[in-house]
């Protein structure tokens, strides 16, 4: 199985390191030509969702990737990646809009925007969670289901082939969420 990591901007190298730890092959997606390779699943990293959204269009990646996600290719979005998959974005503009979640960007405000906690994740037990200028999910609808709630806010969700976290599992020691994704 070939895992592509969107590598336009942000924390793509950390996801690559995580997949290396799991012995899982991967490649970077930087330009349309990279989509000629077999692609079985996609990771969209954290970073700046506004910049990534613009680059996806400028580099002609948007339509092909959106079609693949809509067809059911497994996709894992962390932080900015979560924002890019959401149908509704408070404080931003939807991008792929394939997931029935409403998200709030930079939701914790400047002071509290970055923090660390340990909290429970559906089916995986207690996991480390690093939040960096994080969004949270205001609501899930349709086929989307919450997988983790921290301080009353939904911070992870899944809808069929789409998995999102508001935090950054690629920055912590636990490989559990990446393993969960690789089994989807
Ligand atoms: N760490 C992150 O990915 C932050 C997301 C960023 N605040 C955004 O809106 O894109």
Annotation marks residue 170 as catalytic: yes
DSSP 8-state assignment for residue 144: -
| pTM as predicted | 0.97
Bridge partners, residue 137, by sequence: 103, 154
Burial of 112 (0-12, 13-18, 19+ CB in 10 A): exposed
Ligand-binding site membership of 173 (annotated): no
Residue with tokens 């693949």: 68
Q: Contact, 75 vs 85, CB < 8 A?
A: yes
**Which of 15, 46, 112 is the pocket-test mutation for ligand 1 (most atoms within 8 Å of CB)?**
46
CATH class of segment(s) 3-182: alpha beta
Annotation marks residue 95 as catalytic: no
pLDDT 10s per residue in the chain (184 long)? 899 999 999 999 999 999 999 999 999 999 999 999 999 999 999 999 999 999 999 999 999 999 999 999 999 999 999 999 999 999 999 999 999 999 999 888 766 678 999 999 999 999 999 999 999 999 999 999 999 999 999 999 999 999 999 999 999 999 999 999 999 9
Residue ranges covered by each domain of the chain: 3-182
């Amino acid at each position: 199985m070939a895992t592509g990591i969107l590598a336009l901007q942000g924390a793509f190298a950390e996801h690559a390191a995580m997949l290396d730890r799991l012995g899982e092959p991967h490649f970077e997606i930087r330009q349309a030509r990279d989509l000629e390779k077999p692609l079985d699943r996609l990771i969209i990293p954290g970073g700046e969702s506004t910049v990534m959204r613009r680059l996806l269009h400028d580099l002609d990646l948007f339509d092909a990737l959106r079609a693949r996600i809509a067809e059911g290719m497994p996709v894992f979005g962390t932080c900015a990646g979560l924002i890019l998959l959401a149908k509704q974005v408070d404080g931003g503009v939807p991008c792929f809009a394939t997931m029935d979640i409403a998200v709030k960007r930079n939701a914790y405000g400047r002071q509290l925007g970055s923090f660390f906690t340990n909290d429970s994740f559906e089916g995986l037990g207690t996991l480390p969670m690093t939040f960096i200028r994080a969004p949270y999910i205001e609501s899930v609808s349709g086929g989307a289901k919450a997988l983790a709630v921290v301080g009353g806010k939904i911070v992870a969700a899944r809808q069929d082939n789409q998995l999102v976290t508001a935090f950054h599992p690629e920055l912590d020691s636990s490989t559990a969420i990446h393993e969960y994704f690789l089994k989807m």
